[in-house]
């Protein structure tokens, strides 16, 4: 059997498809050209080819296919999330919730898991619902997709940067760009270029409305030197409350303290839902943090009062009242409150208690920016959802053109949700393209 890695060297104009694959009518004419060799593009290409579309070509601008799959999840690839109800699933998408309901009713997390299982890739659910390949490495997902594409007869060419996409009066599309020996003719085209500006430009040139892209899923840079000393500490059940003008965003979850500020799942989710508001404020604002793990002011006050009595002879630093706070962070909070950690709980003053309660329950931290450029995971924005029929992923502006993945104004929080939108959109597009192709035959 041919190694699926050979997919990266196959070209549309100089190599023939494998002997078992259908031949295109001409060297430069294809039933489907997919622009973008990522998750959505591969899913669409494989689905269309498996459903009988005779000639399918994927064009990727970079040297490597499925690069986001490769680097996601720290090289493990969080394929999807164990969230079975479409009504619940859409709640993890800051943009596109209502529109995605129909899409997920046709192909959701359970369908994606079954799709990969049918092609030999078993996904394992972790305690937080994230699902990873059994091999625990993203290369297993890449090999699965490459092998499925190879078996279906999909052709792939890398290092092709499509620069021109034009609809032809007689039907179909002309595809041209750097890396192609000659322009290609395509009956159908799938745009799946992710966050790359080339895809947005092509979509706009074909009459689509674009929602300006802004970063999403990023860490927050804070003016909080006391936290910088606690870099690397993760804390669960932290409450984040962000108010920007007349908008308010809240989330509770795990945060990671960095040398710049805060990251971790709760911070990333907050930044996703507040992406446009934060962009509008130039990433300036005030974040209120509740470190009490749900105890609230009364609960914290009661705990501190208990410790003043029960641990009277012990030092404040040594006898930590809150198990969920790492000792280094507890010491930082004591320093911020002006409390001598070597003092005894019996001498803990009411004034010190008020300061500590305020820090633990409502610490105000100025936001001074977002994480370093390029650190953000996805972008919010892209082709307006109203321009696409989400039952088929076909453009309402340009018949025969299909759009899916991050190019659309859809983005999810961390946990496999962005990939799920790619699998769903790609599968629906592939099905619709195959149906349209069979009707033309």
pLDDT of residue 245: 87
Angle formed by the axes of helices 39-50 and 417-440, to 10°? 30
pLDDT of residue 383: 97
Question: Distance (Å, rounded) from C-alpha 405 to C-alpha 221?
Answer: 29
**Helical ranges in 51-196 per DSSP H:** 67-75, 86-89, 97-106, 109-118, 138-152
pLDDT of residue 228: 85
Contact indicator for 191, 33 with CB cutoff of 8 Å: no
Whole-model pTM: value is 0.86
What tokens were used for 408?
A: 């659309």
pLDDT of residue 377: 65
Residue range 4-214+378-440, CATH number: 3.50.50.60
> Counting every residue, how long is the chain?
441
Question: Distance (Å, rounded) from C-alpha 21 to C-alpha 53?
Answer: 11
pLDDT of residue 226: 85
pLDDT of residue 131: 98
Mean pLDDT of 231-239: 97
DSSP letters, 378-390, are: EEEEEE-GGGEET
pLDDT of residue 20: 39
Contact indicator for 386, 362 with CB cutoff of 8 Å: no
Contact indicator for 38, 67 with CB cutoff of 8 Å: yes
Identify the bridge partners of residue 105 per DSSP, sorted by sequence position: none
DSSP 250: E
Collect all residues with Cβ–Cβ distance below 8 Å to 89 and sequence separation of at least 6: 81, 83, 100, 104, 108, 109, 417, 420
Burial of 399 (0-12, 13-18, 19+ CB in 10 A): exposed
Mean pLDDT of 167-192: 96
Using only C-alpha atoms, the chain has a radius of gyration, in whole angstroms, of: 26
Question: Largest alpha-carbon pair distance within the chain?
Answer: 89
Instruction: Give span(s): CATH 3.50.50.60, the chain.
Output: 4-214+378-440
Least confident among 28-42, 44-58, 106-120, 368-382:
368-382
pLDDT of residue 13: 33
pLDDT of residue 375: 57
Mean pLDDT of 178-201: 96
pLDDT of residue 27: 47
User: How would you list the strands of the sheet with 80-81, edge to edge?
Assistant: 80-81, 130-133, 123-125
């Amino acid at each position: 059997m041919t190694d699926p890695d050979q997919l990266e060297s196959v070209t549309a104009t100089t190599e023939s498809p494998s002997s078992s694959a259908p031949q295109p009518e001409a060297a430069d004419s294809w039933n489907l050209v997919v622009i973008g060799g990522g998750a959505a593009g591969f899913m669409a290409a494989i689905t269309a080819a498996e459903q009988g579309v005779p000639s399918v070509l994927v064009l990727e601008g970079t040297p490597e296919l499925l690069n986001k799959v490769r680097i996601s999840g720290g090289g493990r690839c969080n394929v999807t999330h164990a969230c079975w109800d479409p009504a619940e699933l859409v709640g993890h998408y800051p943009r596109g919730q209502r529109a995605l309901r129909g899409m997920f009713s046709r192909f959701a997390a359970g369908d994606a898991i079954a799709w990969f299982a049918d092609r030999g890739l078993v996904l394992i659910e972790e305690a937080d619902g994230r699902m990873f390949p059994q091999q625990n490495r993203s290369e297993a997902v890449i090999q699965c997709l490459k092998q499925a594409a190879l078996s279906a007869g999909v052709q792939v060419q890398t290092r092709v940067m499509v620069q021109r996409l034009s609809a032809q009066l007689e039907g179909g599309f002309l595809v041209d760009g750097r890396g192609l020996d000659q322009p290609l003719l395509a009956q159908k085209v799938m745009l799946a270029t992710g966050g790359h500006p080339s895809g947005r430009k092509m979509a706009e040139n074909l009459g689509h409305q674009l929602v300006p892209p802004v970063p999403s899923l990023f860490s927050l840079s804070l003016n909080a030197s006391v936290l910088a000393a606690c870099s690397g500490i993760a804390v669960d059940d932290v409450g984040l409350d962000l108010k920007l003008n007349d908008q308010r965003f809240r989330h509770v979850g795990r945060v990671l303290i960095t040398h710049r500020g805060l990251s971790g799942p709760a911070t990333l989710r907050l930044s996703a839902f507040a992406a446009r508001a934060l962009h509008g404020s130039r990433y300036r604002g005030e974040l209120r943090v509740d470190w009490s793990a749900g105890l609230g002011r009364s609960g914290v006050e009661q705990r501190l009062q208990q410790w003043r009595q029960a641990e009277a002879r012990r030092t404040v630093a040594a006898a930590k009242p809150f198990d969920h706070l790492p000792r280094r962070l507890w010491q930082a909070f004591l320093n911020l409150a002006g409390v001598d950690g070597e003092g005894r709980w019996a001498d803990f003053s009411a004034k010190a208690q008020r300061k500590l309660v305020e820090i633990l329950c409502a610490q105000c931290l100025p936001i001074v920016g977002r994480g370093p450029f390029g650190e953000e995971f996805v972008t919010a924005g892209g082709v307006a959802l109203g321009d696409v029929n989400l039952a088929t992923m076909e453009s309402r502006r340009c018949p025969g053109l299909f759009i899916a993945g991050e190019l659309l104004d859809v983005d999810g929080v961390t946990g496999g949700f962005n990939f799920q939108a790619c699998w769903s959109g790609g599968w629906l597009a592939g099905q619709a393209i195959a149906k349209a192709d069979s009707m033309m035959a």
